[in-house]
């Protein structure tokens, strides 16, 4: 085979000319790049999808983030559910933060009012935000907060303390195998974010 | 065949004149064989680097108590060891194989996108320079585990998150470009007459792996971007204080992470499926079922991610779903293992080094598969989670699985790459030393894990001391054994017995129709139909 012939053959096969196969390659590359972009978008789409999914199924112990009205038709006195309260400070917030009572027995449908104590031990003003979570996660959809300090930000001046209230009821439909609910609050310092 | 070989040889000389010399040859090269070589050397250097980090880890764990490193530095070691081995050693090594072998197996003159090929390799050293460079910075290297769970990598980061994220971005771009190149090459560059079902299984596994990469690497890029903005730009994707959710990080990460583990094992299946038939002197048993099994594993890999998260408090339904889907993967994987065994059944076996590594792969990978099956069971996973049992499991599939397949492939094609036979007795030393030490290294980890030793911790309770001592000794021995491989490769490049075009009598495939060493340009004219038909792996 002569050198020229050989080069022509290479060209044909390596797509250095503007033959058919280079446009084929470009087409395939474009399609694949679309997949890449779509999957990059899909990664971000997972964020709202995850929230919607958790809202519907009550996965992950997320409770209602705005107040709901009390709608229970009756109180089921045949059942008793124990509701436990725990608190935790996220990194870097020097507050004393604890439930006034650690646990309470309630009947499904019964409205209860409990309170949490917070004191700003720092020498500067801090805005706190408590984020609730219910365990077991599937119970989250059956735990309704009528009034909660976690719905709003909590500004506390240096050295000041406050009692914050939580009003809630447990849904009548709560699955019968759930006997104990744990409501956990994590307290975050959001002074910087809210200013 | 002989005439073809001679013809290729004369072309080789002709083209050698156009090769640049010195460093420029490697910097500017668009030749698939050069780029394959670059990838393989890079992977091996990274393997030794990641291995050196592992040696420090094992030295620290040789005795209970803290002897050599601070706990924070220990965390950096485990993190960077994992990242380097996954993204720097195993993945680039497979891309190196793809670059070297795919065009030759398909009868194509080069990869479809040679310039992009050059770029996808040359950005990799920068990624790892950033990652390794962070060791020398004030904040230290990433210390949050290779899985970089938020908030460890956001709120509690030691300040290395930005370097980590940019390094991962570059690795991701490199992998995506490499994968696009592989897909385009396989779809458009096959020699006339080579239909999809005539392609060697090696090609199929890389084809499917490349699709997995294209699908999940962008998700990884997305999740590290969220991490970056959470840490430095005040977003709250994973920050509960701002309405985000740290558990969501794990969902997105493992949506990438689980297909990623198949990205690291499917090419190994391809390599072993090439080598076992060659040394059994039979065709691959059940070629079509292998193709379908590989595809099903790839598809299933998208719906099992939450088995990494059984202890996050999922509802029972979720745990059952992910448990059953995970166990389902054992079916196509079992098809593969049985096919390899059936290929060997009544074959005329001979035990050259590539075959030894392949047989070790089949047995030891299966052990790793079984421990994976144990981990898939939700109730027992609660005990095994985050213990050394998990460490033992994924090292069996990645070291005696992926890495052993890479060694098998390297020995199998070294004669084709260098034109020389490797030193046989040295290679056997490499195999037997590796085999014994790797089991001493990883097998006792199963027991440590079952007894409750947690992973990623620089100290342990006294009752784990004996096993850890043996594990460390195995570790040092395994590390040293890999230097034998380096010696074999260097000797093989420098000289040795001249390799014929086809050094293995049972091997099939178009790569054996060209001379050894493979000429700089191969298949500038497509191979004849007869060769393509001879090269297909179907049983007759």
- Give the tens place of pLDDT for each residue, B437-484: 999 999 999 999 999 999 999 999 999 999 999 999 999 999 999 999
Compute the nearest-CA separation of A22 from chain B (Å).
Answer: 9
pLDDT of residue A20: 52
**How far apart are alpha carbons B136 and B146 in whole angstroms?**
19
| Residue B4 clears pLDDT 50, i.e. is over it | no
What's the distance, CA B311 to chain centroid?
28
CB-CB neighbors (< 8 A) of B223 in chain A:
43
In the three-class reduction of DSSP (H, G, I as helix; E, B as strand; rest coil), residue A45 is classed as helix
Residues 213-242 of B with CB under 8 A from A: 214-223, 226, 234, 237, 240-242
**How far apart are alpha carbons A144 and B421 in whole angstroms?**
74
Q: Which of A35-49, A58-72, B14-28 has the highest mean pLDDT?
A: A35-49
Catalytic residue among B34, B37, B58, B110: B110
Q: Which residue has the tokens 């990194």?
A: A91
pLDDT of residue A8: 46
**How far apart are alpha carbons B381 and B385 in whole angstroms?**
5
Number of A–B residue contacts, CB under 8 Å: 124
Total count of residues recorded for chain B: 540
- Inter-chain residue contact A91 with B114, CB threshold 8 Å: no
Number of H helices, E strands in chain A: 3, 9
Mean of the per-residue pLDDT values for chain A? 84
Q: Does A138 touch chain B (CB under 8 A)?
A: yes
- Closest chain A CA to residue B116: A29
pLDDT of residue A11: 46
Q: Does B314 touch chain A (CB under 8 A)?
A: yes
Partner residues linked to B435 by β-bridges: none
Question: Of B125-129, B144-148, B315-319, where does mean pLDDT reach its minimum?
Answer: B315-319
Q: Does A1 touch chain B (CB under 8 A)?
A: yes
Q: Is B41 a catalytic residue?
A: no
Is B176:B213 a contact under the CB 8 Å cutoff?
Answer: yes
Give tens-digit pLDDT for B274-300. 999 999 999 999 999 999 999 999 999
pLDDT of residue B540: 62
Compute the nearest-CA separation of A132 from chain B (Å).
Answer: 9
Question: Of A133-142, A169-178, B92-101, B305-314, where does mean pLDDT reach its minimum?
Answer: A133-142
Minimal Cβ distance to A42: which of B155, B219, B237: B219
Q: What is the mean pLDDT of residues A44-57?
A: 85
In the three-class reduction of DSSP (H, G, I as helix; E, B as strand; rest coil), residue A131 is classed as strand
CB-CB neighbors (< 8 A) of B521 in chain A:
10
Per the model's pLDDT, the better-predicted residue between B11 and A169 turns out to be A169
**How far apart are alpha carbons B115 and A19 in whole angstroms?**
18
Q: What is the mean pLDDT of residues B382-409?
A: 97
How far does chain B reach from its first CA to its final CA, in angstroms? 22
**How far apart are alpha carbons B221 and B219 in whole angstroms?**
5
Question: Of A17-26, B134-143, B301-310, B343-352, where does mean pLDDT reach its minimum?
Answer: A17-26
Q: Does B212 touch chain A (CB under 8 A)?
A: no
Is B157:B168 a contact under the CB 8 Å cutoff?
Answer: no
Is B43:B81 a contact under the CB 8 Å cutoff?
Answer: no
**How far apart are alpha carbons A67 and B162 in whole angstroms?**
39
pLDDT of residue B358: 98
pLDDT of residue A39: 95
Q: What is the mean pLDDT of residues B264-273?
A: 97
Give tens-digit pLDDT for B43-67. 999 999 999 999 999 999 999 999 9
pLDDT of residue B6: 43
Q: Does A14 touch chain B (CB under 8 A)?
A: yes
Give tens-digit pLDDT for B213-260. 999 999 999 999 999 999 999 898 998 877 788 999 999 999 999 999
Pair of tokens at residue B251? 């969902």
CA angle B391, B397, B402 (to 5 degrees): 130
At a CB cut-off of 8 Å and minimum separation 6, what does A120 contact?
Answer: A94, A95, A126, A156, A157, A158, A159, A160, A161
Per the model's pLDDT, the better-predicted residue between B521 and A91 turns out to be B521
Residues 239-268 of B with CB under 8 A from A: 240-243, 245, 247-248, 251-252, 255
Is B169:B227 a contact under the CB 8 Å cutoff?
Answer: no
Pair of tokens at residue B344? 């060997």
pLDDT of residue B155: 87
pLDDT of residue A7: 45
Minimal Cβ distance to B109: which of A10, A36, A129: A10
| Residue A4 clears pLDDT 70, i.e. is over it | no
Catalytic residue among B160, B333, B343, B358: B333
Mean of the per-residue pLDDT values for chain B? 93
Give the DSSP letter string of B287-313.
HHHHHHHHHHHHHHGGG-GGGG-GGGT
Chosen for mutation from B188, B232, B238 (greatest number of chain A CBs closer than 10 Å) is B188
pLDDT of residue A17: 41
How far does chain A reach from its first CA to its final CA, in angstroms? 78
| Residue A58 clears pLDDT 70, i.e. is over it | no
Confidence of residue A91 (pLDDT cuts 50, 70, 90): confident
- Inter-chain residue contact A33 with B11, CB threshold 8 Å: no
- Write the CA distances from B103 to A113, B43, B109, B366, B511, integer angstroms: 73, 20, 6, 31, 9
**How far apart are alpha carbons B337 and A107 in whole angstroms?**
57
Q: Does A23 touch chain B (CB under 8 A)?
A: no
| Residue A12 clears pLDDT 70, i.e. is over it | no
Q: Is B174 a catalytic residue?
A: yes
Q: What is the mean pLDDT of residues A94-101?
A: 93
Q: Which of A12-16, A183-187, B239-243 has the highest mean pLDDT?
A: A183-187
pLDDT of residue B11: 45
Q: Which of A81-90, A92-101, A127-136, B85-94 has the highest mean pLDDT?
A: B85-94
pLDDT of residue B18: 62
Q: Does A91 touch chain B (CB under 8 A)?
A: yes
Q: Does A50 touch chain B (CB under 8 A)?
A: yes
Short-list B59, B171, B164, CA closest to B120: B171
Compute the nearest-CA separation of B189 from chain A (Å).
Answer: 8
CA angle A32, B104, B335 (to 5 degrees): 70
Minimal Cβ distance to B222: which of A44, A65, A186: A44
Helices (H), B454-528: 465-494
Instruction: Count Cβ atoms within 10 A of the Cβ of residue B461 and give its class: 0-12 exposed, 13-18 middle, 19 or more buried.
Output: exposed
Q: What is the mean pLDDT of residues B474-502?
A: 96
Q: What does DSSP assign to residue B398?
A: I
**ipTM of the modeled complex:** 0.88
Pair of tokens at residue B181? 């190149």
In the three-class reduction of DSSP (H, G, I as helix; E, B as strand; rest coil), residue B195 is classed as coil
- Inter-chain residue contact A131 with B187, CB threshold 8 Å: no
Per the model's pLDDT, the better-predicted residue between A92 and B210 turns out to be B210
């Amino acid at each position: 085979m002569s050198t020229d012939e050989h080069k022509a053959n290479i060209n044909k096969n390596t797509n250095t000319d503007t033959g058919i196969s280079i446009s084929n390659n470009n087409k395939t590359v474009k399609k694949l790049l679309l997949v890449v972009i779509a999957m990059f978008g899909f990664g971000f789409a997972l964020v709202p999808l995850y929230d919607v999914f958790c809202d519907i199924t009550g996965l992950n112990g997320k409770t209602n983030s705005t107040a709901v009205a009390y709608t229970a038709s009756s109180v089921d006195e045949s059942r008793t559910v124990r509701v436990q309260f725990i608190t935790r400070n996220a990194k870097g917030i020097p507050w004393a933060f604890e439930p006034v009572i650690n646990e309470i027995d309630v009947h499904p449908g019964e409205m209860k009012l409990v309170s949490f104590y917070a004191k700003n031990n720092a020498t500067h003003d801090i805005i706190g935000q408590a984020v609730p979570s219910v365990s077991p996660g599937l119970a989250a959809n059956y735990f309704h907060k009528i009034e909660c300090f976690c719905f709003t930000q909590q500004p506390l001046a240096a050295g000041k303390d406050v009692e914050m209230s939580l009003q809630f009821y447990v849904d009548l439909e709560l699955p019968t195998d759930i006997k104990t609910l744990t409501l956990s609050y994590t307290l975050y310092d959001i002074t910087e974010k809210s200013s | 065949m002989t005439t073809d070989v001679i013809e290729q040889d004369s072309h080789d000389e002709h083209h050698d004149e156009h090769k640049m010399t010195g460093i420029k040859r490697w910097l500017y090269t668009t030749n698939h064989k050069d780029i394959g070589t670059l990838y393989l050397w890079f992977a091996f250097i990274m393997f030794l680097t990641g291995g050196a980090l592992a040696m420090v880890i094992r030295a620290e764990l040789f005795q209970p108590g803290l002897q050599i490193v601070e706990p924070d530095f220990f965390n950096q070691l485990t993190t960077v060891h994992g990242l380097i081995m996954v993204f720097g050693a195993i993945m680039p090594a497979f891309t190196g194989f793809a670059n070297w072998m795919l065009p030759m197996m398909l009868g194509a003159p080069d990869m479809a996108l040679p310039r992009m090929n050059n770029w996808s390799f040359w950005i990799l050293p920068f990624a790892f320079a950033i990652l390794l460079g962070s060791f020398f910075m004030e904040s230290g290297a990433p210390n949050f585990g290779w899985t970089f769970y938020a908030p460890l990598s956001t709120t509690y980061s030691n300040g290395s998150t930005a370097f980590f994220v940019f390094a991962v971005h570059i690795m991701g771009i490199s992998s995506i470009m490499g994968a696009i190149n592989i897909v385009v090459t396989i779809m458009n560059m096959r020699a006339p007459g080579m239909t999809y079902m005539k392609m060697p299984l090696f090609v199929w596994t890389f084809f499917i792996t490349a699709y997995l990469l294209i699908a999940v690497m962008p998700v990884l890029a997305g999740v590290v971007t969220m991490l970056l903005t959470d840490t430095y730009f005040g977003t709250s994707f994973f920050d509960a204080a701002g309405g985000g959710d740290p558990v969501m990080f794990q969902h997105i990460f493992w949506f990438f992470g689980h297909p990623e583990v198949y990205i690291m094992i499917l090419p190994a299946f391809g390599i072993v499926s090439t080598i076992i038939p060659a040394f059994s002197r039979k065709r691959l048993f059940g070629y079509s079922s292998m193709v379908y099994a590989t595809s099903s594993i790839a598809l299933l890999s998208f719906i099992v991610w939450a088995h990494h998260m059984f202890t996050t408090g999922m509802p029972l339904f979720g745990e059952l779903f992910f448990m059953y889907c995970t166990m389902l993967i054992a079916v196509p994987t079992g098809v593969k293992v049985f096919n390899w065994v059936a290929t060997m059944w009544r074959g005329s076996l001979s035990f050259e080094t590539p075959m030894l590594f392949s047989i070790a792969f089949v047995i030891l990978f299966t052990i790793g598969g079984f421990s994976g099956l144990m981990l898939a069971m939700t109730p027992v996973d609660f005990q095994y989670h985050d213990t050394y049992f998990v460490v033992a499991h994924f090292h069996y599939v990645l070291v005696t699985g992926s890495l052993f397949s890479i060694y098998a492939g390297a020995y199998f094609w070294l004669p084709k790459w260098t034109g020389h036979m490797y030193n046989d007795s040295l290679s056997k030393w490499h195999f037997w030393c590796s085999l014994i030490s790797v089991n001493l290294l990883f097998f006792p980890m199963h027991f440590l894990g079952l007894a409750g030793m947690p992973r990623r911790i620089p100290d342990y309770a006294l009752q784990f001391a004996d096993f850890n001592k043996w594990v460390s000794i195995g570790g040092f021995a395994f590390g040293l054994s890999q230097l034998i491989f380096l010696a074999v490769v260097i000797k093989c490049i420098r000289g040795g017995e001249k390799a014929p075009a086809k050094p293995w009598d049972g091997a099939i495939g178009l790569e054996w129709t060209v001379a050894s060493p493979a000429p700089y340009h191969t298949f500038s004219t497509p191979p004849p139909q007869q060769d393509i038909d001879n090269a297909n792996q179907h049983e007759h």
